[in-house]
Chain A
Amino acid sequence: MKISAGLPTGVSAALFDSARRRRELEARLSALLEGRGFAEVLLPILDYFEPYRPLLTGRRLEQLYRFVDRDGQLLVLRGDFTPMLARLLAPHLDELELPLRLYYRGDVVRHQPLRPGRMREYSQLGAELLGGAKAEADERMLTLFFDLLLEARGEAPATSDGEEHTLRVVLGVAGALDDALLAAAGEREASDLALRIASRDRTAARRAGLADVVERGYPTELSVLGGAGEAVSDLLGLRDRLSSEYRDAGVEIEVDLAEFAAATLDSRIGVGAGQRGYYDGLMFAAYAPGTALALGVGGRYDKVFRSLSGDCSAVGFSVGLDLLLELGDAEARS
């Protein structure tokens, strides 16, 4: 049972069965993470606003709930775990034994428009891997992402055509399209073009010479992407390896650069509103039929540590616990 009446917009209370189911899911996923050597961290709900100015861009910064404390300090409610963890660990990198495997769970609050399945307060569980060889760390965290989603979903209900309950995971590289977008549209319009391609606008994509990006996910000729072409080529190899491993488990993996077209360009040219501004390498998102939002998102964010004067490779993800519980409800109904 969930109650939202009498509470501020976008928040709800989980009572009785809802609370029990969420705690059960948290326990199962936490057990899986601890079995893989991840240690839990408990992060505060309040922090100063100032450290987040260089870490978050555009919409993410605007979405933070902020207020002036009685001491006159500008504070924020926790809107994201990853930047908070990074800012706390960055000054201590020399003292830490890397690679470091961490996980967290708890609520975040963001002032954002209400959409199907999207509240203003929602519960997340996420994992971060700091240090280690990048390619190996990326693959390790992707497989952990898949395993967590499969664990959360449990056994998929039988279906008539076999595809109804497949998890779809989209892979991309943050900024892979930036040069092509800037070349096609110029700095002033590139951000708008990026948003159009992210919304799969075929006409805009074709006019920019990027039709195959919206049609099949990436350009046939990867040299269009310049230096990012090599990263995308590696990604296609990763997709093939993981697809053969996870196909039988009901995970479909595709490379789709359009999904993340607007992820980095906004902050680069200083306009617009990047949604996932802190990623600078591999990015991924998972969807299931009937869900309005991605069940989880993640990626590489080395640049967050660089902006904190630290040098550390970092990759991580978070999954939405409420969304995973809703997915279970939807599948049970079907």
Chain B
Amino acid sequence: MITFGLPKGRNLGPARASLAAAGLNLDGLDSSRLRQRFPDQNVLGTPVEVLLLKDWDLPLYVEHGIVDCAIVGSDVLEETQPDVFRPLQLKDGRSRLSLIAETPELPKRSGQLRAATRYPAWAARLLAARNLHVEVIHLTSSIELGPLLDLTDVAVDIVQTGGTLRAHDLHEVEVLAEVAPTFVVNRASFHAHRRRLSGLLGALEETETGGD
């Protein structure tokens, strides 16, 4: 049996769709239940157990080997830096991490800029790589409120459609990184289930990239 960790909430749909396209159909998955089992009629040829977990917790469950593999956002991986294999990024559900401000250009300040973000470590790395040494303020939600309420000069956050920015009259100053749902595997599980996972990953790669 192979145990999958899938994200609760809005990322569950794209993850399920990608797995289904690759031959791992999870018909009947009940999003209100924590743990569910599926029979072995799938591309893996073995029963599958699915655990529905929060995005931010998934890397830890994979590292511990509680789940063999998971689909988790690359934003969470970049922030938490888990020691897991990352064989594939999926196409559906991609977004971007952007530098956001009330003006189209980066605000000019005599002192250090302040940036609000839910990714303090990743944002600090990305901004330092651009020679922007900012004071990072860690917020857990409504990141756009940072510059709107003058808590910070800018925000560093995920942008999908840009609708939230337009609604608050904010500007996407620069795209800092691409964010993609990522298939991750526990090190020991990779070796234990190598042949089966290779088949699934090959099928996923084919459907996601069209062999690109």
Contact = CB atoms under 8 A, between A and B. Distances in A.
Interface string A113-124: 101110000000
B194 A254 contact: yes
A202 B83 contact: no
Contacts of B198: 215-216
A291 B205 contact: no
Chain A interface secondary structure, helix, strand, loop or mixed? Answer: loop
B81 A113 contact: yes
Interface stretch (B18-26, B85-93, B98-106): B85-93
Interface residues of A, number: 29
Given A115-B83, A168-B192, A202 B201 contact: yes
B200 to A, nearest CB: 11
Nearest to B81: A113
Contact of B85 (A163, A199, A254): A199
A201 B87 contact: yes
A66 interface: no
A287 B84 CA distance: 13
B144 interface: no
Interface stretch (B28-36, B59-67, B123-131): B59-67
B38 interface: no
Nearest to A196: B86
Given A116-B64, A202-B205, A215-B198, A168 B188 contact: yes
Q: Which of the four size classes fits the interface of chain B?
A: 20 to 34
B65 A290 contact: yes
A73 B202 CA distance: 55
A63 to B, nearest CB: 15
Given A289-B189, A290-B188, A201 B205 contact: no
Interface in A313-329: none
B133 interface: no
Contacts of A256: 191
B77 to A, nearest CB: 10
Contacts of B194: 254
A90 interface: no
A116 B85 CA distance: 15
B122 interface: no
Contacts of B64: 116-117, 290, 292
A137 interface: no
A294 B205 contact: no
A200 B83 contact: no
Interface in A110-137: 113, 115-117
Give the most central of B88, B191, B201: most A CB within 10 Å.
B191
Contact of B87 (A170, A200, A293): A200
Contacts of A214: 87
B81 A292 contact: no
Contacts of B205: 202-203, 206
Given A116-B64, A168-B188, 20 more contacts: A115-B83, A116-B60, A163-B192, A168-B192, A199-B85, A200-B85, A200-B190, A201-B88, A202-B87, A202-B201, A203-B88, A203-B205, A215-B198, A216-B198, A254-B194, A287-B188, A287-B191, A292-B186, A293-B83, A294-B187
Q: Rank and list the top 7 A-B pairs by shortest CB-CB distance, nearest first.
A: A287-B188, A168-B191, A290-B65, A200-B85, A200-B87, A116-B64, A116-B63
25 contacts: A113-B81, A115-B83, A116-B63, A116-B64, A161-B1, A168-B188, A168-B192, A170-B191, A199-B86, A200-B85, A200-B190, A201-B86, A202-B205, A203-B209, A206-B205, A252-B191, A254-B191, A287-B188, A287-B192, A289-B189, A291-B65, A292-B65, A292-B186, A292-B188, A293-B83
